[in-house]
């Protein structure tokens, strides 16, 4: 067995977590499952599951909690590590497919499958490296003003029907090569939540392939909490400020170079159709 899995919890429904654990246990490539609990109180029901239950007693944040499990995977020389949200469902056989693909493509450091809403609609989670406009300012503008830019940012011209390299992959399902993580570093714990997936994919993309793999798919029961909750919006905005303080606000040469390369490849693909 080649794969460890970590799931970070914060007062999630036990039934939802149990369902995910049950799916993971059906896969013959999963070695260890880590439930890392940031909730204020522990849940005894998780102690009865065949998992490694880690109760933190405080909310460390998304990246910091996953890092606890990632360090254990690195120490144990696990080949792959899956970071997955509790609200994900999928056919366990896709893990075998992904492992086989990663085994054949050793230059891939990170992978994300095709992601659907429960309705069957595609979630457009392949993205360019964001500017402040893409992550902060557009929230406060009418939708019709930002539609065209959003289409470019979310790489919709790709059709989401081919394997491609993407500089920003969603944190809902991050399939990592552990040796690559050991090389580039784990989640930046300065980010409490939200931009940690942008940051780690960006660092991975600089040295390894970060791939969208639509040959397999998952369902994400996703709720944009920062759009619905003022407190979460504040946390989102504060952490985005941290992200741009780290990488650059309006002047970011690396971002420009990476995004231009990706957009050029999309244009070339369209012309070749």
191 located within any domain: yes
pLDDT, position 265 = 87
Furthest-apart CA atoms within the chain: distance in Å: 57
Region 239-258 average pLDDT: 92
Helices (H), the chain: 14-25, 62-75, 93-104, 132-135, 143-153, 178-184, 196-205, 225-228, 230-247, 253-272
pTM beyond cutoff 0.85: yes
Q: Does residue 107 lie within any of the structural domains?
A: yes
Distance CA 57, CA 204 (A): 31
What tens digit of pLDDT does each residue of 153-177 get?
A: 999 999 999 999 999 999 999 999 9
Host domain of residue 20:
3-130+158-223
What mean pLDDT, rounded, does the chain reach?
91
How many structural domains does the chain have?
1
Q: How many CB atoms lie within 10 A of CB 180?
A: 20
Residue matched to tokens 């504060």: 238
**Within-domain flag for 165:** yes
Coil, strand or helix at 84:
strand
| CA pair distance 95, 78, nearest whole angstrom | 15
CATH number of 218's domain: 3.90.550.60
């Amino acid at each position: 067995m080649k794969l460890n899995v970590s799931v970070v919890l914060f007062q999630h429904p036990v039934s939802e977590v149990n369902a995910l654990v049950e799916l993971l246990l059906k896969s013959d490539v999963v070695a260890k499952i880590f439930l890392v609990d940031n909730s204020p109180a522990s849940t005894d029901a998780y102690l009865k599951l065949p998992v490694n239950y880690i109760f933190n007693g405080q909310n460390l944040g998304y990246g910091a909690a996953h890092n606890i499990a990632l360090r254990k995977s690195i120490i144990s020389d696990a080949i792959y590590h899956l970071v997955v949200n509790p609200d994900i469902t999928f056919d366990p056989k896709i893990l075998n497919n992904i492992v086989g693909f990663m085994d054949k493509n050793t230059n891939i450091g990170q992978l994300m499958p095709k992601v659907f809403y429960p309705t069957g609609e595609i979630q457009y989670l392949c993205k360019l490296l964001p500017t402040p406009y893409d992550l902060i300012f557009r929230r406060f503008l009418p939708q019709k003003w930002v539609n065209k830019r959003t289409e470019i940012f979310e790489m919709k011209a790709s059709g989401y029907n081919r394997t491609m390299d993407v500089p920003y992959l969603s944190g809902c399902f991050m399939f990592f090569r552990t040796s690559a993580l050991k090389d580039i570093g784990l989640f930046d714990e300065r980010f409490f939540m939200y931009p940690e997936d942008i940051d780690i994919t960006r660092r991975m993309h600089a040295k390894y392939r970060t791939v969208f793999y639509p040959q397999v798919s998952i369902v994400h029961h996703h709720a944009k909490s920062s759009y619905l909750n003022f407190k979460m919006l504040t946390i989102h905005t504060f952490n985005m400020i941290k992200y741009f303080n780290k990488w650059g606000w309006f002047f970011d040469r690396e971002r420009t170079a990476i995004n231009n390369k990706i957009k050029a490849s999309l244009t070339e693909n369209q012309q070749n159709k």
